[in-house]
Amino acid sequence: MTSDLGTRTLGRDGLTVSSLGLGCMGMSQSYGPADRDESIATIHRALDLGVTLLDTADVYGTGHNEELVGEAIAGRRDEVVLATKFAMSRRPEGGANVIDGRPEYVRQCIDASLRRLRVDHVDLYYQHRVDPTVPIEDTIGAMAELVQQGKVRHLGMSEASAGSLRRAAAVHPITALQSEWSLWTRDLEEEVLGVARELGIGIVPYSPLGRGFLTGSITSRDQLPEDDFRYTHPRFQDDTMPANLRLVQAVRELAEAKGVTAAQLALAWVLSRGPDVVPIPGTKRRSYLEDNVAAAAIELGEDDLARLEVIAPPGVAAGGRYRNSAPGYGDSPEQVA
């Protein structure tokens, strides 16, 4: 299989990446057991297909994911736009994640990430969640120092509110905002998207396939092992699945009419949102990767987009985005992905 991914530019400072990235989180946590060999093979195949943006975080697998990505890109660093994140850690006893935006923690985290990744710099460094107890100016100021030191090339934020974006961008240019965006999660469009574009911030949607639900492969909660993140996710419960399955069925029917998979149609919709949008579907298998990459070649006409707007208007999904998420959008520390 060959690919014609093309490139897109994130931010006003011009970070050029493939039009589709690869989210690596699931290789280490949340979606069943890890498979090191297949995960590394998937990353290698992504690079072969022209995927340049690899996304990880220090909290994914509690460092395991960064180590895995570092192993996979050894000898191929020049092919990769490497993105990682800091600020979030898990409580040993469970419960809500700990968010830490203190400047000293910023400095501590980048050095640990560089060691695990086996690199001397990362191309895009995100604050994983905003710390409500630390002024955003202090956190971004510390991140900006990392740019001056050469440890980081570009700064990003994840799941930030419009207000946080404005305050952060006043300290240092923000290249990318990583937030959930898909046919069944369109909260971003209410306010945050417009502010990000006003500030020249690129958009990196995670979970563009709705945690795999929009692929149509999950039809029952019984398919999910209890150690799968989705087993307790509000949209995969017995009282929400039927409504969400109706949404997926409508997507599948349109996809079949176009001769593509439901996953490809869902990704093509996210890609159609603008040239500043670079989705990062996550997978740990080469077969799914190749299906995803093929979505970059799919063109949606006005009729397709109009039908999808009817099928999946904002707010269509039954159930919240996270089990413990705060109401509203952005700056919500309980969220985990």
Which residue numbers are catalytic? Answer: 60
The candidate with the shortest Cα–Cα distance to 202, out of 178, 172, 168, is 178
CA distance 167 to 134: 13
Burial 228-255 (b: 16+ CB within 10 A, else e): bbbeebbbbbeebbeebbebbebbbebb
Q: SS3 for 277-331, per residue?
A: ECCCCECCCHHHHHHHHHHHHCCCCHHHHHHHHHHCCCCCCCCCCCCCCCCCCCC
CA distance 152 to 138: 17
